[in-house]
């Protein structure tokens, strides 16, 4: 589960997040929507532990972060948080010097110290589940954008994350590949994964997200059940955004 209260994030004197609060139960898919610069990616970077929070607190994947913690303790918990969430970046950041298989087993073998054989077996299973088993020996550059994304997903899953996070997963995909990604993610939902998906594509989130969070100017404008918000948004700003998005 995720609980965020009064989260403030400032960088270079400007507040990017101005007091964000919400709570998501486990095994839920949270969709975060909003225009560019609304702070949705920053929120994601706070949730997965890449950015340090300026004020407030976050409880995510069983790790509690509080801006008042000592620097040392904060860093310790940050490391823990990063290990418990898996993130698929918009630009993926696959490791170009490693093969597909190498990308996936790198962290399990060196961070979790799983024996190489076991890690490889599991990685091949993961690749099979994303339909890329036969490309295990290739280098990322030789894969298509959609294939690269599925490698990134498999790489994140190999660390058995409690929460899976996506930043703009559809930005580089054509409609056909978007649909197949949706099918893949729906499979994860059925297996009980908790997911956070930052996206500007309402169509992609429709029927996938359980809850929606609409952000504007670093604040939460509307948060609640996805179907309800999509059907009848309460705030006029949400309504405007949804209409423009269509």
Asked if 142 touches another protein (CB under 8 A), the answer is: yes
Report in angstroms how near the CB of residue 41 gets to another protein at its nearest: 12
Report in angstroms how near the CB of residue 99 gets to another protein at its nearest: 10
DSSP string of 171-182, one letter each residue: TT--HHHHHHHH
* Residue among 92 and 230 whose Cβ is closer to another protein: 92
Whole-angstrom distance, CA of residue 21 vs CA of residue 60: 13
Size of the site for another protein (CB under 8 A): 27
Q: Which helix (H) or strand (E) holds 15?
A: strand 14-24
Binding mask 159-198 for another protein (x = CB under 8 A): x---------------------------------------
Of residues 33 through 92, those in contact with another protein by CB under 8 A are: 48-50, 79, 82-83, 85-87, 89, 91
Whole-angstrom distance, CA of residue 90 vs CA of residue 82: 17
62 — phi, psi (to 5°)? 80, 5
* Residue among 37 and 137 whose Cβ is closer to another protein: 137
Report the residue from 139, 177, 188, 206 that binds another protein according to the rule CB under 8 A. 139
* Residue among 17 and 158 whose Cβ is closer to another protein: 158
Listing from the earlier edge strand, what are the strands of the sheet with 211-216?
85-88, 163-167, 194-198, 29-34, 211-216, 219-225
- Given a contact cutoff of 8 angstroms between Cβ atoms, the answer to whether 127 and 135 are in contact is yes
* Residue among 135 and 182 whose Cβ is closer to another protein: 135
- Given a contact cutoff of 8 angstroms between Cβ atoms, the answer to whether 242 and 227 are in contact is no
Whole-angstrom distance, CA of residue 193 vs CA of residue 205: 16
184 — phi, psi (to 5°)? -60, -45
Report in angstroms how near the CB of residue 167 gets to another protein at its nearest: 11
Asked if 148 touches another protein (CB under 8 A), the answer is: no
* Residue among 120 and 222 whose Cβ is closer to another protein: 120
Cα first-last separation, the chain: 31
Report in angstroms how near the CB of residue 107 gets to another protein at its nearest: 4
Report the residue from 67, 107, 124, 184 that binds another protein according to the rule CB under 8 A. 107
Token digits of residue 101: 């298989």
Q: Which residues bind another protein (CB under 8 A)?
A: 48-50, 79, 82-83, 85-87, 89, 91, 93-97, 106-107, 110-112, 139, 141-142, 155-156, 159
């Amino acid at each position: 589960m995720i609980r965020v209260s009064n989260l403030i994030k400032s960088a270079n004197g400007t507040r990017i997040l101005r007091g964000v609060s919400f709570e998501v139960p486990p095994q839920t898919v949270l969709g975060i929507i909003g225009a560019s610069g609304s702070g949705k990616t920053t929120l994601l970077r706070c949730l997965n532990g890449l950015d340090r929070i300026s004020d407030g607190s976050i409880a995510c994947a069983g790790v509690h972060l509080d801006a008042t913690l000592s620097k040392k303790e904060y860093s310790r918990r940050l490391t823990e948080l990063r290990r418990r969430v898996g993130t698929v970046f918009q630009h993926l950041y696959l490791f170009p010097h490693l093969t597909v298989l190498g990308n996936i087993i790198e962290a399990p073998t060196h961070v979790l110290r799983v024996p190489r054989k076991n890690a490889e077996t599991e990685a091949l299973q993961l690749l099979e589940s994303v339909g890329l088993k036969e490309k295990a020996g290739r280098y990322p550059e030789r894969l298509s954008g959609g294939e690269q994304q599925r490698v990134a997903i498999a790489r994140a899953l190999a660390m058995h994350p409690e929460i899976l996070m996506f930043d703009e997963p559809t930005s580089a995909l054509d409609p056909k590949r978007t649909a197949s990604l949706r099918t893949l993610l729906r499979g994860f939902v059925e297996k009980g994964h908790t997911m956070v998906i930052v996206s500007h594509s309402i169509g992609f989130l429709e029927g996938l997200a359980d809850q929606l969070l609409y952000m504007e100017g670093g604040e939460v404008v509307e948060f609640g059940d996805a179907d309800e918000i999509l059907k009848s948004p309460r705030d006029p700003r949400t309504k405007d955004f949804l209409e423009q998005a269509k």
